[in-house]
Amino acid sequence: MTPPNSNLAEKQEEPRIPPIVRSVEPLERTVDPTFQTFHRWEFEPGPDLPWLNEKTKFSKWSASISQSLWLSRWRILLPLMRRKGITEIIFFGADRIDVESSTGIFTTSLNFLAEEPIPSWWNPEWHRPTAADLAAGLNIIQREIVGREVWESGREALDVLVEAQLEDGSRLLAMMPPCSTNSNIVANIRRFAPVKFSRNDFIGFESMTEVCADVLELAIKCKATALIGAGTGTGKTTLLEWMLRSIPEEEFLLTIEDTPELQIDHKRHRGLRTRERMHGLDPNSVFQEMGPSDLLRGSLRLRPDWIVVGEIRDSGMSKSVADAFINACQSDHAGAATIHAGSPYLALNRLESMLRTARPNTKDEALRQNIGDTVRLIVCLERTKAVSFDNEGQPYSKTLRRVKEVAEVLGSDGKNYHLNTIFSTRFVDRDFTTPIGHKTVQWPELQMVGLPFFLIEREDQGLPLPDWYYEKKLEFLQTIPVVGIVAHKQRLLSF
């Protein structure tokens, strides 16, 4: 357990993401002392690691298997699994382990090399994990998931990919030789925040503004089908979780995922997950494989009001998930999903290309009209760096995971999508007062540039709206394109 007077114990009480000004290492530093020295208690079981002693809802194996893995073969990783602020654990083989935190990417002093000195405060009675233990741990995980070893020396014809969800909800992906070069095992462990982010957290982290938060919450209350687009590690799932909290309690929510990641606290939520064909099975054996599209078709019989897909992608079992998602949302269901795309147009184009694969005989104009009539809101995120200054006036790199752009889809004429941009990013000067003088840097800022038409529809229905809406209506009403949904109203918008 953490000693009451431990400095590390005090650091654990810091906010998950640091304030703009704090004492950190300068930009040119790649080693942070925080990840070089570890105390003995960090390598021991404690109340903050309950999955070492009990089976959690994320576990695919027993507590005894977890103890064999984390208290022997992978014990050296325990400090990184318990420290706050770490979003990714990155393996460059057995000899180097990096971590990503809110202030950058740093190299740790931990490794799986037997010839290297043991970490400070390491108990000599503990087993010192080696490169063989790193591979053996992956074998344990794969054996518990699919019933067979993933890799053994001299038997490289076996599987070389391990993909799993760990006991605390973290996501693991590892590749073995010969698919990884230099005979190294490459792996990543994606860490998730133990506490769900609130609206105030997103605003405090500068991920969005208060007005943007209002718009996203109101979009869900208006049952607008939404796409969350971004690259990996940008917080798509975290943002989607928060948005789904705005679904009224009386509505039914159904989620479909390959790997369960969405942590939904909703009274009427039910979750489904895909089932891939197990490796090594006789091809003639009876086995019911369930892909996302299969689950989507079946979910229509489960009385959902909302259908949420963890990720729309165009590989493996997910090839027809875009088609099933569009069909489900067109049958009077609201929907939400994440997609790998950096802008609203790219998100629509990716969805269109996946839909074209599932409907090869449908004209492109019809595909675009189907998508334009179904998707109503696109939220694009980004992970970017911004330069800030510590208490001594030294610059450091701050990682921002933020909403980059929000656009409303008003439909399609078969050739083009009609988009109404609501928020976009502009770079503005930000001033810092430091002990060594006044500093000014360029800082990304989310600005409102348009008015959502779905809020006007909500106003027409006599439903409540925030106070800022009426001021923004005067400012941005004339910027709404009179096309698609707007044109179908068959009346002129007036004050």
Specify if 495 maps to a domain: no
Where residue 123 sits, what CATH number does that domain have? 3.30.450.90
Q: What percent of the chain has pLDDT over 70?
A: 84
Q: Are residues 245 and 383 in the same domain?
A: yes
User: Number of folded domains in the chain?
Assistant: 2
Q: Domain ends where: 165, 190, 215? A: 190
Taking alpha carbons only, the member of 81, 73, 16 closest to residue 46 is 81
Find the domain containing 98 and state its range: 7-190
> By the 8 A CB rule, do 452 and 408 touch?
yes
Specify if 1 maps to a domain: no
pTM over 0.95: no
User: Out of 100-104, 117-121, 253-257, 449-453, which region has the weakest mean confidence (pLDDT)?
Assistant: 100-104
Q: Are residues 453 and 476 in the same domain?
A: yes
Q: Output the pLDDT for position 335.
A: 92
Q: Output the pLDDT for position 319.
A: 56
More confident residue, 395 or 56: 395
Specify if 2 maps to a domain: no
User: Out of 28-37, 90-99, 300-309, which region has the weakest mean confidence (pLDDT)?
Assistant: 28-37
pLDDT per position as a tens digit, 226-239 = 999 998 878 888 89
Per-residue pLDDT for 118 more than 80?
yes
Per-residue pLDDT for 20 more than 80?
no
Specify if 494 maps to a domain: no
Specify if 493 maps to a domain: no
Residue recorded with tokens 């006044």: 438
What single letter denotes the amino acid at residue 84? Answer: K
Per-residue pLDDT for 392 more than 50?
yes
CA distance 258 to 321: 12
Specify if 282 maps to a domain: no
Per-residue pLDDT for 109 more than 60?
yes
Q: Are residues 226 and 104 in the same domain?
A: no
pLDDT band at 281 (very low <50, low <70, confident <90, very high): low
Q: Output the pLDDT for position 402.
A: 93
Report the pLDDT averaged over residues 408-419. 94
CA distance 177 to 153: 10
Per-residue pLDDT for 159 more than 80?
no
Q: Are residues 111 and 210 in the same domain?
A: no
CA distance 489 to 487: 5
Rounding to the nearest 10 degrees, give the CA dihedral for residues 107, 197, 190, 194.
90
CA distance 373 to 330: 8
Specify if 477 maps to a domain: yes
Q: Domain ends where: 146, 173, 190? A: 190
Q: Are residues 348 and 445 in the same domain?
A: yes
More confident residue, 233 or 343: 343
User: Out of 194-198, 312-316, 330-334, which region has the weakest mean confidence (pLDDT)?
Assistant: 312-316
Residue recorded with tokens 């005979």: 183
Q: Output the pLDDT for position 128.
A: 93
Q: Are residues 184 and 47 in the same domain?
A: yes
Average pLDDT score, the chain: 82
Q: Are residues 301 and 183 in the same domain?
A: no
Q: Output the pLDDT for position 6.
A: 39
Residues paired with 433 in a beta bridge: 438
Q: Are residues 138 and 241 in the same domain?
A: no
pLDDT per position as a tens digit, 470-486 = 999 999 999 999 998 88
